[in-house]
Amino acid sequence: MISSKKIDPMFGRTDVSLVGRWWWTVDRLSLGALILLIVIGAVLVMAASPPVALRLELDPNHFIYRKLLLVIPAIVIVIFTSMLSPGVVRRIATIGLAISLVLLFWTVIGGTEVKGARRWISLGGLLLQPSELVKPTLAITAAAILAGAPVRKSRWAHLITAALLALVVGLLLMQPDFGMAMVVSGVWFVQLFVAGISLYWDIGLLLCVGLVALVSYLYLPHVAGRIDQFIDPAIGDRYQVDKALEALRVGGFLGRGPGEGQVKSVLPDAHSDFIFAVAGEEFGVLAGLIIVMLFALVVVRGLWRLSSEKDSFVLLSAVGLLVQFGGQAVANIGVNLHLLPTKGMTLPFISYGGSSMLAMAIGMGMFLALTKERVGSRNLNGWSKLQHYGAMNQ
């Protein structure tokens, strides 16, 4: 009824061009939230990064330029990727996984060592972090394998994805990058959980996770150190966490105002892992809550919409992408609020970091692509049923 009266066909309901179809089928609310997060990230890097750049004896605007250089490409990637069809997404992801596995090998062999870990490779002057690219591609490939297998062969599908995961985790641990290994394992676990493996397996896997955690605590000193610091404030260096908490407290409800923050000048990772604290100090709890709400919006709305998704591939891959996105956000903000032990994890779209930003853009673009409205993609029940009836009644 809207479109019929519109003279301009552009973006009308009747617009059947590629862009028009995309606009009316994509989840516009989630898209808006993601773009807003990217923009907020740009603003926050502007606020947080100059002191860090100065400390590293770079141009004060170094990180700002590089971030701004990424903002437009990131938005473009999100939109462009979201236009793809689920099949193309699957194919791209499979190829992407293969490429990123090669790059991961390369990283382990000839990567650039930064702070004692080989996580980056240099490609034509650009430092790339292949592990970022592994996350979305692995999630989608695993989903395809799980969804593609017939019921009686589901056990084999589980094993294949587990083998794939083991390969990736093995490569990540060689870097070493425990945080990333945890993320991919967690995503895989949730995918398997949603895919419906038996509860015994769920519990068994959780026990495995507990065992691995215990072993790391006992045998990896830096893991033990992090946990001990988290539990007992008197032990070790909690400098960054304490400063982050102080920043949030000082910020109050509306913050000190843009550029007025102090904590960024003393936090080494003000522009990446602790950018949330900078946001809290300069723009207040309000900004912090808005950021949390934006992440929550995308994750909760995405999962809610998936509840009526019938396509197993779409369901599992979208869950994987959302869990990665939401999990990283929760982990990062949790560290900033001292709810979790310190773990180097970026805040999706907001922290500074090119590879993370682009990979996240690809991942969330694919998520949008997968969750577009398709004929017969939904079980007709709940609110979606009403919506469909409404649409039909028109």
Partner 1 sequence: MRRILIGTSALPDSPDDSKSSYKGSSRSRLFTVLGLFILCFAVLSARLIDVSLLRDGGEPSITRAGSDRPGATGRADILDRNGVLLATTLRTPSLYANPRVLLDPEEAAKKLTTVLPDLSYNVLIQKLISKRSFAWLKRGLTPLQQHQVNSLGIPGLGFLDEYRRIYPQADLTSHIVGFCGIDNVGLSGIESRYNAELTAPDRLGQAISLSLDIRVQNVLHNELSEAVKTFQAVGAAGVVMDVESGEILAMVSLPDFDPNRFSEANAESRFNRASLGIYEMGSTFKAFTVAAALDTGIINLKSRYDATNPLRVARYWIRDDHAKNRWLSVPEIFIYSSNIGAAKMALDLGGDRQKAFLDKLGLLSPSTVELPEVAKPMWPQPWREDSTMTVGFGHGIAVSPIKIAAAIASLVNGGYRIDETLIRGKSVSAKPGDRVKSVSAKPGDRVVSAHTSKMMRALLRLVVTDGTGSQAEAVGYSVGGKTGTAEKPGKRGYRRDALISSFVGVFPSVAPRFLVLAVLDEPKGTKATHGFAGGGWTAAPTVSRVISKIGPMLDVMPIREKDAESHMILEISSEEENLEAF
Chain residues binding partner 1 by CB under 8 A are 13-14, 16, 21, 24-25, 85-87, 90, 147, 149-151, 154, 190, 193-196, 233-234, 238, 242, 245-246, 248-249, 251-253, 280, 284-285, 288-289, 292-293, 295-296, 299-300, 303-304, 306-307, 310-316, 319, 323, 326, 330, 333-334, 337-339, 372-377, 379
H helices of 220-353, in order, are 221-231, 239-251, 275-306, 312-336
The helix-helix angle for 28-55 and 275-306 (nearest 10°) equals: 160
Rounded to whole angstroms, the Cα distance separating 99 from 93 reads 10
What Cα–Cα distance (Å) separates residue 373 from each residue in 32, 68, 140, 241, 337?
A: 17, 32, 19, 43, 37
Say if residue 5 is exposed, middle or buried (CB neighbours under 10 Å; 0-12, 13-18, 19+): exposed
CB of 109 to partner 1, least distance (A): 36
Pull the structure tokens for residue 130: 């292949």
Smaller CB distance to partner 1: residue 119 or 372?
372
Pull the structure tokens for residue 335: 């560290």
Smaller CB distance to partner 1: residue 130 or 320?
320
CB of 329 to partner 1, least distance (A): 9
Rounded to whole angstroms, the Cα distance separating 5 from 20 reads 17
CB of 351 to partner 1, least distance (A): 16
Smaller CB distance to partner 1: residue 192 or 358?
192
Rounded to whole angstroms, the Cα distance separating 275 from 288 reads 10
Smaller CB distance to partner 1: residue 105 or 193?
193
Buried b (16+ CB within 10 A) or exposed e, 321-360: bbbbbbbbbbbbbebbbbebbbbebbbbbbbbbbbbbbbb
CB of 156 to partner 1, least distance (A): 12
CB of 289 to partner 1, least distance (A): 6
Rounded to whole angstroms, the Cα distance separating 351 from 66 reads 12
Smaller CB distance to partner 1: residue 112 or 379?
379
Read off φ and ψ for residue 119, nearest 5 degrees: -125, -10
Q: Report which DSSP code applies to 375.
A: T
Question: Computed over its alpha carbons, how large is the radius of gyration of the chain?
Answer: 22
Smaller CB distance to partner 1: residue 3 or 216?
3
CB of 310 to partner 1, least distance (A): 6
Smaller CB distance to partner 1: residue 188 or 295?
295
Read off φ and ψ for residue 164, nearest 5 degrees: -60, -45
CB of 319 to partner 1, least distance (A): 7
CB of 387 to partner 1, least distance (A): 12
In three-state secondary structure terms, 236 is coil
Smaller CB distance to partner 1: residue 124 or 376?
376
